[in-house]
Amino acid sequence: MSEGRGGPPKGRLSAEELAYRARALAQTHPLTPLAKRYLDQAVAQQRTSQPVPEIGIWAGAALLNGYCLRRVEEEDVDVHLEAAPDAGALPDLEKLDEVAQQVAAEVRSDDSGGHLLADDDEVIDALDRIVASEVERRLDHWRESIDKKAWVELEEYLTWWVVKGYALRVAETMTGAVA
Cα–Cα nearest to 169, from 38, 9, 77, 44: 38
Q: Is pLDDT above 80 for 85?
A: no
Coil, helix or strand at residue 175: coil
Q: Is pLDDT above 70 for 7?
A: no
Q: What percent of the chain has pLDDT over 70?
A: 93
Residue 87: the pLDDT is 61
Mean pLDDT of 73-84: 90
Mean pLDDT of 94-122: 93
Residue 88: the pLDDT is 65
Measuring CA to CA, how many Å separate 75 from each of 79, 133, 176?
Answer: 6, 22, 19
Mean pLDDT of 71-84: 91
Q: Is pLDDT above 90 for 46?
A: yes
Query: For the chain, how big is the Rg over CA atoms in Å?
Result: 16
Coil, helix or strand at residue 3: strand
Measuring CA to CA, how many Å separate 78 from each of 113, 117, 176?
Answer: 21, 10, 19
- 127 Cβ partners below 8 Å, 6+ apart? 66, 69, 107, 162, 163, 166
d(CA 64, CA 161): 9
Q: What percent of the chain has pLDDT over 90?
A: 70
Mean pLDDT of 97-105: 96
Q: Is pLDDT above 80 for 5?
A: no
Mean pLDDT of 123-152: 89
Q: Is pLDDT above 80 for 1?
A: no
Length of the chain: 179
Q: Is pLDDT above 60 for 8?
A: no
